[in-house]
Every structure is written in structure tokens, then in C-alpha cells.
Amino acid sequence: MRPHSFPQPLDRAALGVCFVAVVFTLLLLWGGDRTQAQVRDFTWQNRDVGADDRAFILAFNRLMDWASVAEHLKIEPPLEGKASWSGRRFAYTLTQPIPYGQTFKVSLEDAVSVPQGKPIKPFQGQFRSRDRVLVYLGSGVEEGRLILYNLTLQQKTFLSPPNLRVFDFQPYPAGDRILFSAGERGEQMGFDPQLYTVTTGLYFNAPETPRRQPRPVGEIALILDNSEYQNLRFQLANDGSKIVVQRVNRLQPADSSLWLLDENFQPRRLNQAAAGDFRIAPDNQHLIIAQGQGLAIVPLEPGNGKSDFDFLPQYGMVLDFSRDGRQVAAVKFNPNFSRSLYVVDIFGEHRELLTINGSIIAGQFDPKGEFLYAILTRIEGEGEGNYREVPYLALFDLKTKELFKLKDFDPQQELYLSLAPDGRTLAVDYVEGREIPDEVDNSDLYSETAPLNPSPSALAELPTDPQVSPPPPPQLPPQQHQIWLFPLELNQDKIVVGMPEPLAPGLQARWLP
């Protein structure tokens, strides 16, 4: 019998599918893809953007005329940036840190696709920057309380309970928690803190991170007690992954060492003594310890290898690291008892900014690493009994090495400065028991210049108007710390410092990242 020559049902179905596919392909080749170009994804949509977020990406469903995209992209309020693209993705990179506390709208219309040249489907998106938030220790009647002040919402929140006296604190990088040391009020032991964390009630949904709701504010957790060891200084890593604590054995007071706490807060002894200050390096893998007249670089783990900052032992103190971790502001203690301020990069370039007979108390880079704010002192008077150090706030332009004096303070004050993550506000706290300036006219501040190693008379003073007689300035209670905010504006690569405004009684103010 001859085999059947007609196709089986399965074969007929397969042939039909192939025929339809061929026809569909021919139609596409003849008519082209008529789908309208549109934005498929916006990486910052409804996200909380911080200073470390530098670029957003628009993903399209087809190739675009990228010049038309760059031309028609609108951001309100405007943000300076540069455009780039690859494949079907368009990137916009900010050239200045995003200002905090604002909502931004992104729109794109009239951009065209290629090769058809047809206009895109109109796109609307939005995102917001993180809130402007300060955390500080209370002063006066609020002494020892840990306080959060949200300047964007104008809300003040107590984070620590009244029974705890907070000594020091450091925010976690996400802004959702604060690490702090505190002791019970009224204890006879004096300074004998334990380590805690407390929730801020904030959680910023950063780009490319899982969305979640913030935990309630004020949830306190004890992470390191003081039953066997007294806890002294501590440092939190930049990424929040580890904590280093200086501890002293209660039974053997000579037994002092550094301890490492991991993300689960499990303490492990490092067998590394630290008589002076210490801090965790930007790589989160090394420890910088002050030892005598120099600094030691110690790996936190045996296999961490070489540090980018092996040049630091020739310096005596670290003030700050730039945000990108490529620069460090350091102090050298000279044999003639003067002090020199340097900025050193990881490539080994050492730049001396000034040498003074006074003290170099603190310093902080601006977000782009182009300016350095510092608290310095100058010597006034001669002979025993007349000698005093007068502190002042200064600004260094690192490109020109110029120094600009911003404000004088009363002698022998405790001072602390903290620059906002967007670089637009400087918080300074100090004891001001005499007068608070009602007004400072510093519109011409940056027209003044000063030599590299200025004398007190050569420093540029903030101009004032002698023709106006201001009302008597208000008085602060004696020895009460006050936080002042200096608004800053970057204008043609120069920083213009605005009129300082009082915020609240407090000290050690720090901005949330």
C-alpha cells in the first residue's frame, strides 16, 4: 500500500503559522514600526533624591534624535547638568548638588524619533529632593536631649527621652537612624555612656533602592552596654556597616582598646590601643588613629590591603575627607609650635593653604571639593595673662588658595560647624552670651582677598553700614549654645555667604545626609 501523501493535521498547523509569520514580517518591512516613541522608564520617578544621586536616566521604546531630546527636556525648577546617551537610554548628569527640600517636574515634548522623525508621546514625571534636616543636642532647658529639626517641614522632634543625657551622636547614611551615646541622668558615675540607636521617622526612597515605609520616630535600641567596659569615643563608617568604639576594662583600667561592631552589633576586640582621636577612612576598611605627633593607618580586617592614604602618618590630625574620598584636609604640627593646613589628594599632591601660630580647630569640604570651610584661631595679646586665642570662621578657595574671613567669635569658645549635603547652608553653633548680630551685609564678601598666610589686620572683614543705627541686639542667656545658619550661594565659581540667621538653642548640629 502506498503511503498517504496529504499532510497530517499537525503539519498543516505548522505550515499555517509559518505563513502568517512571513506575511506579518513582510507587512512590517513594508510599513515600518508605526508605534509612537515614548518614555518607558524614568529612574527618578517619585523618588527622594540626595546629594550622592548625580544622574537620572530616561529609557525609550525606540531610538531617538538625542539632540532633540536634550533640546526639549525641561526640569522645573531648573537643574544644571550635562546630557549623554547610549542605545535607547538618555542620561542627564547634574553638575551641581541638587538643592534639598524641593519638588521637581520633568517634561519632554516635541522630541523626535529616528529615522521616522515623528514626535514623541508627551512625557511628565516628577521627583523630590530630600528634606533639609538637622540633628543636634539641646541647650538650656533642653540640655542633653537629642533633637531633630526638619527645616523643610518646620518640625521639631525630640528623639531621646528625658531620662537620658546624650553625649555624642552620628547619623546613619540613609537618615533613618541615629547612633548615639548616652547615660542616665543623676547617676553618680558621671560620664559612663551606653550606645543606642534611635529611629528618626524618616526614610528617603532613594533611586534604585527598594521602596519601604519609615519606621515610627523614637524607637530606641540598646546596642552596647557598659556592664564590663566603659565606652568612650565611637565612630560610624560612612556606609553605616560598622562601628568602632574605644572601651576601657572596668576591672583593669589600664586595659584600653578599640572594638569593632558589625551590622549585627556584635562587638569584637581589635587589640589596637587608641590614646587619641580616631576615624574610619572613606574606604570603610581602614582606621586612622592619632598617635603622638603623627597618624597611623590600621586595617580593620587582616586582608584589607593597602590604603589610599598611606601618606597621612606625616600629619598630626585629619579634619575632613572630600565627598568622593579623593582629598583630605590635614594639619601638620611644626617644630616651632606653629600649625600648617594642607589639602592632599590620593595621587600624592600636597597643597599648603596656610601656616598660623593659632589653632586649626575644624574643617569641612564643600560637596564638590572645591572649597574648604574652617574654624581657625589667631593669637592676641602678649605675655602671661594677656594671651588669648580668638576663633574665626574662614573659607578657602582651593583653586586660588585664597582665604576669606567670614565671622569672629568670642575667645575660648567651643565651636562646631556642619555643611549641608547640598552645600547651600552652613550650621555653626557657639556660646553667644553678649550680642547677636541683627544683620550682616556681606554682599561684597568675595570682592575681598587675603594673602596665603595673613596677619589679623590683613583678613577681609565683613562690610557693615556705619550710617544705620541698629536697635539694641537681643541677649542670649549666659553660656547657652546657639545654632546659626549661614545661607550659601554658588555664583560663577564663587561662594556668596548670606546673612546668618538663628535657628535654636543647641550644639553639635549635624545635617542628615
Out of 42-51, 213-222, 446-455, pick the least confident.
Answer: 446-455
What 3-state class would DSSP assign to 23? helix
Residue 17 pLDDT level (bands cut at 50, 70, 90): low
Alpha-carbon distance of 27 to 37, in angstroms, equals 20
Question: Would you state the pLDDT for residue 446?
Answer: 32
CATH number at residue 105: 2.60.40.3710
Q: Taking 70 as the threshold, does the pLDDT of residue 337 lie above it?
A: yes
pLDDT tens digits for 62-73? 999 999 999 999
Residue 34 placed within a domain: no
Residue 54 placed within a domain: yes
pLDDT tens digits for 492-512? 778 889 999 999 999 999 999
Residue 96 placed within a domain: yes
pLDDT tens digits for 286-302? 999 988 778 888 898 87
Phi first, then psi, for residue 9 (nearest 5°) are -55, -40
Residue 273 placed within a domain: no
pLDDT tens digits for 108-128? 999 999 988 899 999 999 999
Residue 86 sits in which domain range? Answer: 39-128
What 3-state class would DSSP assign to 19? helix
pLDDT tens digits for 151-177? 999 999 999 999 999 999 999 999 999
Share of the chain above pLDDT 90, in %: 64
Cell numbers for 202 = 524618616
The one-letter amino acid at 283: D
Q: How many domains does the chain have?
A: 1
**Distance from the Cα of residue 338 to its chain's centroid:** 31
Alpha-carbon distance of 112 to 429, in angstroms, equals 53
Q: What is the DSSP-derived secondary structure letter of residue 337?
A: S
86: left (phi over 0), alpha (psi -120 to 50) or beta: beta
Name the helix (H) or strand (E) containing 71: helix 66-72
Name the helix (H) or strand (E) containing 79: none
| Strand segments (E) across 154-238 | 155-158, 164-171, 177-184, 194-199, 220-224, 229-236
Residue 24 pLDDT level (bands cut at 50, 70, 90): low
Residue 74 placed within a domain: yes
pLDDT tens digits for 404-442? 999 898 886 789 999 999 999 999 998 765 444 444 434
Spell out the residues 6+ positions from residue 449 whose beta carbon is closer than 8 angstroms to its own: 402, 404, 460
The model's pTM is 0.83
**Closest-CA residue to 133 (of 373, 427, 375, 363):** 427
In whole numbers, what is the pLDDT of the chain averaged over residues? Answer: 85
Specify which residues 358 forms β-bridges with.
Answer: none
Q: Which residue matches cell numbers 549635603? A: 421
**Closest-CA residue to 180 (of 237, 249, 236, 258):** 236
Residue 111 placed within a domain: yes
**Distance from the Cα of residue 225 to its chain's centroid:** 29
Alpha-carbon distance of 27 to 75, in angstroms, equals 40
Alpha-carbon distance of 392 to 79, in angstroms, equals 34
User: Three-state secondary structure along 272-295?
Assistant: CCCCCCEEECCCCCEEEEEECCEE
Instruction: Classify burial at 99, counting beta carbons within 10 Å of its beta carbon; exposed 0-12, middle 13-18, buried 19 or more.
Output: middle
Residue 112 placed within a domain: yes
CA angle 103, 107, 112 (to 5 degrees): 160
Residue 101 placed within a domain: yes
